[in-house]
Amino acid sequence: MTMIDMGKRAKAASVELAKLPTNVKNNVLLAMAQALEQDIDEILTANKKDIESAKVNGVKDALLDRLVLNKSRIEKMAQCIREVSELPDPIGQIIKTWVRPNGLIISQLRVPLGVVGMIYESRPDVTSDSSAICIKSGNAVILRGGSDAINTNIAVGKVLDKASTAAGAPQGSIQVVETINRSAVQELMRMRDYVDVLIPRGGADLIKSVVEIARVPVIETGIGNCHIYVEEDADIEAAMKIVINAKCQRPGTCNAAEKLLVHQNIAESFLPKMIKKLKEAGVEVRGCDKTRRIFPSVKAATDKDWFEEYLDLIIGIKVVNDLVEAISHINKFGSKHSDAILTADFNKALRFMKEVDSAAVYWNASTRFTDGNQYGFGAEIGISTQKIHARGPMSVEHLTTTKYLVLGRGHIRE
């Protein structure tokens, strides 16, 4: 099947999906979740092929972790689909209604976007999460995953497609591009007649490429150069636990902390303890000059480090003078993804959350919570760092647009 053929099928499916009642969409989602659990062995067999290829190609462990599936992860994928089924259906929702002085009644109605094109790397759970969110929001989806997960994505896509159509979704609602040929993704980015929006999800190079080449409108998901700032009045024990969680739980994800900023007044007492714990966890530490004076064995951070998303067990540490410098540093070097302040002071926290220009800002919590599931969205199709209608974790409601219903009684404009 050509990309144009896939586009035509998706466009036709989107027309029917937009009309599906909520109960039918929910039944489709429940069937998809059940199918994932029933076909675990088939999916794991495909995933094993991708893992073996990734190891041969020298993929580093943190990125390999994003690719690996097991029974519990597939069960979690199924659970996320079930949670999406329980979300309110936004389609057909009247957002507001008002009456003009001339008697015209105007309403704003929530409707699907149409056809969503997903271009992503590594993580096969993106295939299931995106499919579920698109079905619930009445959109068809074309999924083009990375070459490193091609076998897994095809297997997951086939399971979901078969289950969804059997439960009442139109043919072409969920389609996976089964070739790793670059020409296919380039064609997808140009299919304005069939694709309504593209969502790239992956590293900086992927996102930059899609934004520069695409003729289809793009919702950018951003890289995660996430920061944690430890104020002088922070609970030190809690701070160390939060930093270790944010950096080490899953270092290959975009919401993992990449930089640690520390107030100068506690640097001497806090950093030796913190760096010791980071090194015990296998983290490579890179620091500013002040950090290295306190802990000389730390590797010197370069100018490039402050911008970099490591996606690995590496962290950059900088000692700052105060809250103002911390905010300035984050807004200059951060990626507008997720940043946190650890402090006991409400006013400091409030200023940080107001002035840090990121999609998600935290007070005394790990950045690892920037996730659709953790926000109560069931799943997410990506984390937008743009300043558009969708910012932060995107789920069902974020894949909708609106149209106006205008009711008259023979009105003409004078």
Alpha carbons 149 and 268: distance in angstroms, whole number: 45
Tokens of 137: 């929001």
Query: Where residue 389 falls among pLDDT bands split at 50, 70, 90?
Result: confident
Q: pLDDT digits over 135-169, tens only?
A: 999 999 999 999 999 999 999 999 999 999 999 99
What is the distance of C-alpha 411 from the center of its chain?
Answer: 46
Report which DSSP code applies to 221. B
Alpha carbons 389 and 305: distance in angstroms, whole number: 31
Sign of the C-alpha dihedral, residues 282, 284, 287, 290? Answer: positive
Alpha carbons 87 and 104: distance in angstroms, whole number: 33
Q: pLDDT digits over 288-334, tens only?
A: 999 999 999 999 999 999 999 999 999 999 999 999 999 999 999 99
What is the distance of C-alpha 248 from the center of its chain?
Answer: 19
Query: Where residue 379 falls among pLDDT bands split at 50, 70, 90?
Result: confident
Q: Is the pLDDT of residue 19 over 90?
A: yes
Q: pLDDT digits over 111-138, tens only?
A: 999 999 999 987 899 999 999 999 999 9
- The CB-based long-range contact list for 210-217 (8 Å cut-off, 24+ gap) reads 210/119, 213/186, 213/189, 214/189, 214/190, 215/189, 215/190, 216/117, 216/188, 216/189, 216/190, 216/191, 216/192
Q: What is the mean pLDDT of the chain?
A: 96
Q: Is the pLDDT of residue 276 over 80?
A: yes
Tokens of 159: 């399971």
Coil/strand/helix, residue 282:
coil
Q: pLDDT digits over 178-223, tens only?
A: 999 999 999 999 999 999 999 999 888 899 999 999 999 999 887 8
Contact at 8 Å (CB) between 147 and 182? no
Identify each DSSP E strand in 282-367 by its residue range. Answer: 284-287, 299-300, 314-320, 338-342, 360-363
Query: What average pLDDT does range 166-173 have in this prediction?
Result: 98
- Where do the domains of the chain lie, and which CATH numbers do they carry? 3-220+386-407 (3.40.605.10), 226-369 (3.40.309.10)
Q: Which of 10-14, 44-48, 210-214, 386-390 has the lowest mean pLDDT?
A: 386-390
Quickly tell me which residue has 């993106």 as its tokens: 126
Q: What does residue 98 show for φ and ψ, rounded to 5 degrees?
A: -145, 160
